[in-house]
Structure 1
Amino acid sequence: MSPQNSKKAIDGGWGWVIVVASSLAMFLAYGSPQSVGVLYPEWLSVFQESKAMTAWVGSLVCGIGLIASPLCSACVVNFGARPVTIFSGVMVSGGLILSAFAPNVQFLIFSYGIVVGLGCGLLYAATITITCQYFDKKRGLALGIVTTGTSVGGFLYATVQNELIELYGVDGCLLIIGCFALNIIACAGLMRPLHLPAYYLKQRAALVEKAEEKLLEKQILTEDPVKKHIPVAEVLVSVEAREPLAYERCLLNCSALVKIIKRKQKAYSEYVLSPVRLLHDRVFTAMCITLFLYSLGSIPPLLFLEDLAQSEGLIEGISVLPLVSIVAIAGVLGKLLLGMMIDIRWMNSVLLYAFTAVASGVALILIPVTKNYAGLQVISAVLGFFSGNWSITPYMTTMVMGIDRLTEAHGILMLFGGMGIMLGPPVVGWFYDWMQSYDVAFYFSGSCVLLGGVFLFLSALPCWNKTRTQTAKPDVDDCEKVAAVA
């Protein structure tokens, strides 16, 4: 979004249709990845691979889309939310159906982890961007509703996938939910853009330029429709001078080509260096580090909690209400309530995010000392509620970096989050394979999340008092950007 071609957010009207369509698309795409913990034990028994190797499937499907966020954001900026959403629906559906025919874990890593993960990443970038375009004052609530689609999908898909596995096996389950995912394409039809994407603007400018050139050529021809008589002497001179003139023309063409290459190289260099300039902001850098540590430690419970309960003998067989479902339904409440909280004028979104990270870290550290299933259910609810802080990240990024740099900055932030998500489950699985226990793994996860929350809190706290007294100023410095009011 650039200030030249973006329209004022309308905070209602068709924007609520966008919210419903985006939430439904997130539900269809993220339902299976958010409840991948239900599929994880099945894959362990079918393929007989180590926990660390099998965990790569769940970590990649959640992390690869975020790692590719800068690329996904560039696709949304150039082509718009609707085409990107259509393409993401094809990728998610195709990846799930392809996974039903996986002969080994390595193939599953590609089909489920990479293909479905990239499809989810494209959809996430498209829905977040178009929602922020349509909303300003109610942006927090709108983002909260959109992101609840992932949690509702995780809650329902966890139960549905259990039933489908019992009836048709894991392969039949993946085929059916892959067919469900095709409805993402229908959701894309409702995503009416506020302005034309950059690619179409460039194409239109090129067409206008060609039309002007043709018009200029016609004007020249009409000015001199009849060729004038040329003397023989001038013809002889022109023939003799033809070769030097051709040589000069070649030099001019080469010089123009060199200038074009230099101009393109300068543009690409500025594009590559622009993310580095964003990281010069101290608070934004702290946000990136915190999100990496949070993702590194908070995602493994989605994958390992059910396996932990079964391996510790806290439950026999499959629970009627899996722990993954509790995490997901609590996440719905968390995203809605936290989204409503950041719309409060005096609320600081950065400090609120830091608090949720600290609370999640404490809950993760308590998992190894919990020796009953009811305790795990309570901890799952706490972790799910505070995982609603994912609805805060776009709002927090907008407040710190501004709406004009939202797409680029949010893409970089999600890159750090994706790296943490991708590394978290394999690291926890490696700890289990090494120690034959989840205790050290969850102590490590909780410590990472707790450290990230404390780091962000300390980075933002020096600016808090200053921002509360100076939010009325139109020009804000780095400290004032931390405030949750523009």
Structure 2
Amino acid sequence: MLEERKKRFSSVEGGPWGCVVVLAAFCIQFLTFGTTQSIGVYNIEFLRYFETTAAKVSLVGSINLGVVLGTGPLASVLMTRWSHRQVALLGAVLCNIGLITMPFAPNLEYMYAFYGVLSGLGYCLVYVPSHVLSGLYFLKHRSLATGIATAGSGMGAAVFPVVMFKIIDYYGWRGSLYIVSGLNLHLLIFAALLRPVPKKFLKTIAAAEELQTLNVSKKRRKSEVNGCETENITPVNGQISNCDCNEIDTELDVNSTMLSADEKLGTYARLRKHFLAVFTIDFIIYWFSNICWNAGGAIVLIFFPEYAYSAGLSKENASITYTMAGAGSCIGCVLGGMLGNIKYFNRIGLYIGGNFGAGIVTLLLTLKVLHTFAGLFMISLVFGLMFGIILGLLVVVTSDLLGTEALGDGFGYLMFANGIGVFSGPPLAGLLIDMYGDEDLAMYLSGILTCCGGLTMCGVYVRKKLCGSRVRKEITINVEL
């Protein structure tokens, strides 16, 4: 009976609109991160035009990326009140308003406000709903679907630097921004394609996931309570009055049970339930890991074009080598999604490997023997590949740690962690360059921080070793309200 229901669930997941949403999410990330991650190409122009320091120029990109990622919780809150499509359309409008004002910028402070904050907020509101929605349409192929969607960010990072270099060379940095603004207007179209998941379909996916969780938990976690085998079931609020495993009905309507319980909870109890569902020990470890690798990765994304230029490459070759990070990221996102979609594959282990791989490659970037076009080309490509693997696993690892019910909230908090890392990394690296005049220090810092992201995530295995493997439950049994 269970196998028949699983087959029925897997046959309906996604559907034609699921494919459309994944494609729209891919295009949204192509434009969003293609623009934000390519701001490093403009840094060379800003340094000369405004005659300022590397730290101040780096703030333009770091504020933008920091707000893009750091305002994730706001996007999650809006998604609980509006549809994913409505939030994304609002974001598309805001980011275009911020971009169209950039050519009139009289100073860097102006750019901090309009490009950094306003466009950053807009990009967040269009990115988070598209990314979460692409995962909600799928269960069996969720990792692959989100990996394909995330590949758009790598493709954008591969294409935009070359395009921006050409249009800057022809139209100047101010004129080029009009073209970039025009391209970003397409976000309105792609946001409009984010059709909400049908409620009946969403319940089917949630029920299938719950059955899968129940089946896996019975195999992985068994303990003796009153002479019978039962799982670790954590109540949402209050105490569990009966642990008799024979009373657990695997055909329980999870959504109806949760909804009826929520209606009886007060504000404090709702908040308590929310934070207990999201901030598990494993997710907190994952949260800090994201701060580390985002701080390290953002340094490379912001400073690599300038670093390659100072290493002796021409502006054009520096832009070309920078695009390889985007190309590698595109491949890595799909590869990470495919590997993560394999049954019983260790996704957390792959995520940790991506962190260490990206960190080690960044440290190798400082070797002078590699400061050639071919050397920087390969370093950038491999870094992008490792970085893409991490990105391709973000949603599915969050889902593994929290479940579908808390995926939207959890991903919003995760974006906040990413924003902290992105906002703090580049200014610190710029400060080191200004103080010591050595750009290698920025890359050393980047590599160490990225490796720390992988090392921090190893805490999940340490926690499991010390406390045992605990399977999260999303059902409430005999709870005293």
Q: Do these two structures clear the TM 0.5 threshold for a shared fold by scoring above it?
A: yes
Where does residue 172 of structure 1 map in the other structure?
A: 175
Where does residue 423 of structure 1 map in the other structure?
A: 424
Where does residue 57 of structure 1 map in the other structure?
A: 60
SS in 2 for 1:193: coil
- CA displacement at 1:152 relative to structure 2: 1.1
One-letter amino acid matched to 2:33 = Y
Q: What's the CA shift string for 1:2-39, capped at 9, x where partnerless?
A: xxxxx997223210011111211222222211211111
- CA displacement at 1:195 relative to structure 2: 4.2
Mapped to 2, the partners of 1:163 and 1:115 lie a distance apart of 26
Where does residue 40 of structure 2 map in the other structure?
A: 37
Mapped to 1, the partners of 2:38 and 2:109 lie a distance apart of 20
For the structure 1 residues 367 and 99, does the alpha-carbon distance in structure 2 shift closer, same or farther, using more than 3 Å as the test? same
Where does residue 296 of structure 1 map in the other structure?
A: 295
> Does structure 1 residue 327 correspond to structure 2 residue 325?
yes
SS in 2 for 1:100: helix
Q: CA RMSD in A?
A: 2.6
For the structure 1 residues 296 and 141, does the alpha-carbon distance in structure 2 shift closer, same or farther, using more than 3 Å as the test? same
Q: Work out whether residues 27 and 152 of structure 2, in 8 Å CA contact, stay in contact via their aligned partners in 1.
A: yes
For the structure 1 residues 267 and 384, does the alpha-carbon distance in structure 2 shift closer, same or farther, using more than 3 Å as the test? farther
Where does residue 311 of structure 1 map in the other structure?
A: 310
One-letter amino acid matched to 2:285 = A
SS in 2 for 1:13: helix
Counterpart of 2:340 (choices 339, 342, 365) is: 342
Q: What TM-score, normalized to structure 1?
A: 0.77
Q: Work out whether residues 275 and 409 of structure 1, in 8 Å CA contact, stay in contact via their aligned partners in 2.
A: no
Q: What's the CA shift string for 1:56-103, capped at 9, x where partnerless?
A: 111111111211111111112211111111111111211111111111
Mapped to 2, the partners of 1:61 and 1:189 lie a distance apart of 24
For the structure 1 residues 99 and 27, does the alpha-carbon distance in structure 2 shift closer, same or farther, using more than 3 Å as the test? same
In structure 1, stretches of 5+ residues that fail to align are 1-6, 197-263, 479-486
- Spell out the pairing of 1:85-484 with structure 2 (5 A cutoff): 85-195=88-198, 269-270=268-269, 273=272, 276-278=275-277, 280-312=279-311, 314-319=312-317, 322-371=320-369, 372-373=371-372, 374-388=374-388, 389-460=390-461, 463=464, 476=471
Q: What TM-score, normalized to structure 2?
A: 0.78
For the structure 1 residues 271 and 124, does the alpha-carbon distance in structure 2 shift closer, same or farther, using more than 3 Å as the test? farther
Mapped to 2, the partners of 1:272 and 1:52 lie a distance apart of 40
For the structure 1 residues 187 and 466, does the alpha-carbon distance in structure 2 shift closer, same or farther, using more than 3 Å as the test? same
- CA displacement at 1:316 relative to structure 2: 2.9
One-letter amino acid matched to 2:299 = P
Q: Work out whether residues 76 and 125 of structure 1, in 8 Å CA contact, stay in contact via their aligned partners in 2.
A: no
- CA displacement at 1:299 relative to structure 2: 1.2
Q: Work out whether residues 144 and 340 of structure 1, in 8 Å CA contact, stay in contact via their aligned partners in 2.
A: yes
Mapped to 1, the partners of 2:42 and 2:270 lie a distance apart of 40
- CA displacement at 1:416 relative to structure 2: 0.9
- CA displacement at 1:380 relative to structure 2: 0.9
Mapped to 1, the partners of 2:94 and 2:108 lie a distance apart of 19
- CA displacement at 1:270 relative to structure 2: 4.9
Mapped to 2, the partners of 1:27 and 1:401 lie a distance apart of 27
Mapped to 1, the partners of 2:47 and 2:455 lie a distance apart of 36
Mapped to 1, the partners of 2:377 and 2:112 lie a distance apart of 29
**Alignment length (residue pairs):** 399
Q: Work out whether residues 299 and 442 of structure 2, in 8 Å CA contact, stay in contact via their aligned partners in 1.
A: no
Mapped to 2, the partners of 1:275 and 1:429 lie a distance apart of 38
Q: Work out whether residues 75 and 84 of structure 1, in 8 Å CA contact, stay in contact via their aligned partners in 2.
A: yes
- CA displacement at 1:463 relative to structure 2: 3.7
Q: What's the CA shift string for 1:195-226, capped at 9, x where partnerless?
A: 47xxxxxxxxxxxxxxxxxxxxxxxxxxxxxx
Mapped to 2, the partners of 1:275 and 1:360 lie a distance apart of 34
One-letter amino acid matched to 1:365 = L
Q: What's the CA shift string for 1:96-133, capped at 9, x where partnerless?
A: 11111111000001111111111111112111221122
Mapped to 1, the partners of 2:124 and 2:271 lie a distance apart of 21
Q: Work out whether residues 363 and 443 of structure 2, in 8 Å CA contact, stay in contact via their aligned partners in 1.
A: yes
Q: Work out whether residues 308 and 318 of structure 2, in 8 Å CA contact, stay in contact via their aligned partners in 1.
A: no
Where does residue 232 of structure 2 map in the other structure?
A: none
Mapped to 1, the partners of 2:413 and 2:467 lie a distance apart of 27
Q: What's the CA shift string for 1:347-405, capped at 9, x where partnerless?
A: 12112111110111111222222442222222211110111111211100101111001
For the structure 1 residues 42 and 347, does the alpha-carbon distance in structure 2 shift closer, same or farther, using more than 3 Å as the test? same
For the structure 1 residues 274 and 170, does the alpha-carbon distance in structure 2 shift closer, same or farther, using more than 3 Å as the test? farther
- CA displacement at 1:461 relative to structure 2: 5.6
Mapped to 1, the partners of 2:321 and 2:45 lie a distance apart of 16
Mapped to 2, the partners of 1:413 and 1:270 lie a distance apart of 23
For the structure 1 residues 10 and 441, does the alpha-carbon distance in structure 2 shift closer, same or farther, using more than 3 Å as the test? same
For the structure 1 residues 169 and 284, does the alpha-carbon distance in structure 2 shift closer, same or farther, using more than 3 Å as the test? same
Mapped to 2, the partners of 1:292 and 1:77 lie a distance apart of 25
> Does structure 1 residue 16 correspond to structure 2 residue 11?
no
- CA displacement at 1:271 relative to structure 2: 5.8
One-letter amino acid matched to 2:399 = T
Where does residue 78 of structure 1 map in the other structure?
A: 81
> Does structure 1 residue 27 correspond to structure 2 residue 30?
yes
One-letter amino acid matched to 2:335 = L
- CA displacement at 1:321 relative to structure 2: 5.1
Where does residue 259 of structure 2 map in the other structure?
A: none
Report which of the two structures shows the higher radius of gyration computed on alpha carbons: 1
